[in-house]
Every structure is written in C-alpha cells, then in structure tokens.
A and B are shown apart, each in its own frame.
Chain A
C-alpha cells in the first residue's frame, strides 16, 4: 500500500440537482450518476460547454455543494457519510483549495500579503508560521515584490496569482481551478497555467483544471469531458482529442493542430498514432509530406 498512489477523490454515482425557489428538486440534474477517481499527483483538465455540469462537479468535490445522491470520498474521508460534521469539512478544506473564475471576487484584503495570510489566519496558525507561509506562497507564484501592494491595482493575471498564493499558504494537497483562466488575457493565462504545471510537477500537488481552452486542456495528463451532467470522455488528451467529430457535437473543439490533421484525414490522408502537441503535429505532417515527395 505504501508505494501505491493514494486516491484523493473518489466519486461513486454522484448526482446533484439544484433546488428551485420552493426548495424542491424539479430541475434536471446538473450532475447525474457520475463516477470517477482522482489519484494523488494527477493533472486533470475538465472540459465541457457552459451548463455541462463541470463547475458543479468541482463545487461538489470542494464541498460547496452536497451531493443529492451518491458517495463522495475526499482524501480518505467520506463526506457523504452521516457522521461527517462541519468541523470535518473545514478540516478538509485546508487540504483541497479552489481558485475561482473572477480574480476580483476572491481577494479579501487591501494588501497582497494580508490577503495571502487570510487562510492561515483562519486556521489559527502562529504568527511566525503565517509569515513563513505567506513568503513561501508569494515566492511560489513569483509575486514577492508585490507583497505590500494593493490588489486592485494589479493586472488580472497577477490577481489570480495572488489568489493561488492564498490557497498555497494553506498547504493544500489538491487545487481545483474553476475556469480560473477564462477572464485573463493571453499573458495572464500563460502565467497561471505555468504556475499550475509547476505546482503539479515540483510540489506534487494534484491539479484539477476546469477550462474552455483546448490548448490548456491538451497540456494535462488526463482529460475529462462533461456533457449534460455525465462524463462523455475520460482519458489521455491524445485519445480524447482524437474524437474530433464527437467533440464538435458536444460544442467543443480540438487543438488546432489536431483539427488540421483531422481535416487532412477526411481528405484521404493518414497519420500514425494521435499527434497532439504542436511539435508532434509538425513532425507527423513533415513525415507525411516528405514521404509523399519521395514517391
């Protein structure tokens, strides 16, 4: 058991139905009978069009919502168990952080380092420990020099990095990014994605990234595609993105390189394997064109 990777999230037949105004559950389920598991150290992207249930799924994992049906186990604790108390929930939340979409609406304090300290302060840590964690977290997102700045004067990407630092300061094992790049410009997006990747690779933090951007999803180690509250695909990016026609049906796209190869395949050309990255696509095309020229 020791060398085996631990399961950090185990979802079994999860269903979630939003309550309407009267408190009844008449709406169609936002998440319906979903089962999956996340292993420690994974880097997962969740895709899906608006309303596919991907955000709801994240909010279930972070205990913002309680499943209507099904069993959910987070870091070895069953959160759907009857004896799971509020104390247990807050204890777990320090381990599973969440970065939201709008960077403005998750920063609490008027000074960057005070904001990063917010989580550790809530945990009741000693002052010296808070100071250590704040400095460490700001360093991890490359924002040390902004420690005494006012958050509202920073760019979107910088604000989002502060939000990530605020989560890191709680030393989580898992971080959920709920469309955290969708309001950023390309530079901000690149900064945030680079941090995500580094945290996953170097700190061993499990990353779950919900996004609309296919190029971001292609960088994950695993992609889950949601549709109508259910999992439509779950696998390696190269496998998932090879289903180009099906993705189009779900209102999604594949990265442009994959789309290009797909178009060429439809025109009668063939390629080996599932090229995914820009480099892989270039090589596949060069091989095909080179081969063609040699004939």
Chain B
C-alpha cells in the first residue's frame, strides 16, 4: 500500500532533535548538505558517517525505520553505481578488461563514495527535517526564514499557506486514490498488464475522478476558509511562536564546527598523520 512508505514521514517524539526550532534544523540541514559536498577524503566521510550516527542516536528513531526509508532509492543507487564503475576512466591500468568493458580502480572508489554520499544525504536530511519535524512547523520555519523576502514583495505568506494546505490534503488524496483504484478494480479495471499505452489509458478512470474530487474539495475549502474570515490581503496573527533557545544556538554552533572540521580534514595532507599507508589511504582524494 502507498501508506507504507516511510521516506518523508513524520515520527512524533520528544528527543532533542524533535524539540529544536525548525529554523535550526533547516539551517543545520543546509550546513550538513554543504559538508557532504565538501567531503573529499575517506577520513572526511568517516567524520560524516559518525556525525549521522550521532544524529540517529539523538533522534531515538529506530534503525529499521531508517533502512526502510532508503529502500525506495536502492535501484537508483545500484544504477548510478554501475554507471560510475563502467564509465569512469582511470589513469593507470584497468583492474578488469573484458571485451569493451574496462573497470578502473577510480570507478569503484567513485561508486562507493557516491553511494555513501546519497545515503548520508537521505538519512541526514530526513533525520533533521521530515522524521523529526512536523510538516506544519517545517512550513512555519520556512516562512520565518524567508520572511525578509516579503519586504521586497515576494508573497511568502501565500506560499506557506499553499504548502500547509498541500500537506493537509496529501494524506486525504492518497486515501482517495486508494479508494478510487479499488472501486475501478471492482469494476474489472486492470492497471497492471498490457502495453505502456494501454496502461496509461487505464489511468483515466482514476485520474478523472481524482481531479473532479480535488476541485470539489478545493471549492468547498475556499468557501469554508472565507467563512472563517480568511482574506489573502489581510494581516494575520499566529498561534505558533518560534523561539530560538540556548539549545538552538548550541546546535548551530556544533553544526558549523562540524562543517569546518569536514573542510579541514578534506584538505589535510597525509603527512600530518605521519604519512604511513593508512594515513595516505585516509587522506586519499576522491
């Protein structure tokens, strides 16, 4: 069922990560993503992995949930890894040379770190954002971070209201899609077999009712909102108040420190670690 996917889902809880201000987590996620792309050596990746593990520990979200979150992208990972392995040309002799296939050391290394990068990206950002932050506070955080743009005429409030409504109706529409599919299946519709064109055509009995209902919902919602005195052009107040606490400043400081660490480690020459084989391996530039 569609509802079994965990990627992008919020898991309520009371951990430190859950309690942080959404703006902290948004900024932290940006710093973390920058760090991932600044990491150039195995040592830097080790640091990244360690940091991600700490995040998981702090969030108290179970590892099986996280693994299930990675599952949907596993085929993409395999595909990009294969591309990297076969398409990368190295400097030295190929490790394997077979017919037109040549596999170089560089390709394998690249595939490994590419995969690691994507996994860290998914786990880290979902740890910080979707898993531990409710969609509404995420929207609030975004609105607050973007609010300076409102002064130059960007409709930040409308954007965030749209986000909120979208988030509110996604589960409703997912449920509805399920219902419509079952109704049409009960009328003998077949979504799983036949040519691509046939399958695309088989979607019409789902899409038409879904659109009809979505428009009807939108219309009713608009009336209901107006009846509750909503006006696009009027200044509104807010119930939720975002407050930066000491823990937020501290967290951001840790993230900044971490980013600096990753950058420094990535540029560190092997000689600093003594220049041994292990040191050279750790500081190998990918």
Write the residues of chain A forming the contact surface with B, with a CB cutoff of 8 angstroms: 62, 64, 90, 93-94, 97-98, 100, 102, 104-111, 113-114, 117-127, 130-131, 134, 148, 150-152, 166-167, 170
Contacts and interface: CB of A to CB of B under 8 A. Distances in A.
Contacts of B151: none
Contacts of B238: 117, 121, 127, 130
Given A90-B229, A121-B239, A109 B224 contact: no
A46 to B, nearest CB: 18
Given A102-B220, A106-B224, A124 B168 contact: no
B33 interface: no
Interface string B222-236: 011111111100111
Contacts, number: 99
A233 to B, nearest CB: 28
B235 A105 contact: no
29 contacts: A62-B227, A64-B226, A98-B227, A100-B220, A100-B223, A100-B224, A104-B172, A104-B217, A105-B216, A106-B220, A108-B165, A108-B221, A108-B224, A108-B228, A109-B168, A110-B134, A110-B167, A114-B136, A118-B225, A118-B228, A119-B229, A120-B237, A121-B238, A122-B234, A122-B236, A130-B238, A131-B239, A148-B12, A166-B228
Interface of B: 12, 134-136, 164-165, 167-168, 171-172, 175, 216-217, 220-221, 223-231, 234-241
Contact of B164 (A98, A106, A108, A127): A108
Contact of B228 (A111, A119, A126, A130): A119
A148 to B, nearest CB: 8
B237 A125 contact: yes
Given A100-B220, A110-B164, A170 B239 contact: no
Given A104-B172, A107-B168, A124 B234 contact: yes
Contacts of B231: 90, 122
A151 B168 contact: yes
B135 A110 contact: yes
A117 to B, nearest CB: 4
A236 to B, nearest CB: 30
A155 to B, nearest CB: 14
Contacts of B225: 108, 118
A93 B236 contact: no
Nearest to B235: A124
Nearest to A116: B239
Nearest to A102: B220
Nearest to B171: A152
A113 B239 contact: yes
A108 B239 contact: no
B168 A110 contact: yes
A122 B228 contact: yes
B236 A121 contact: yes
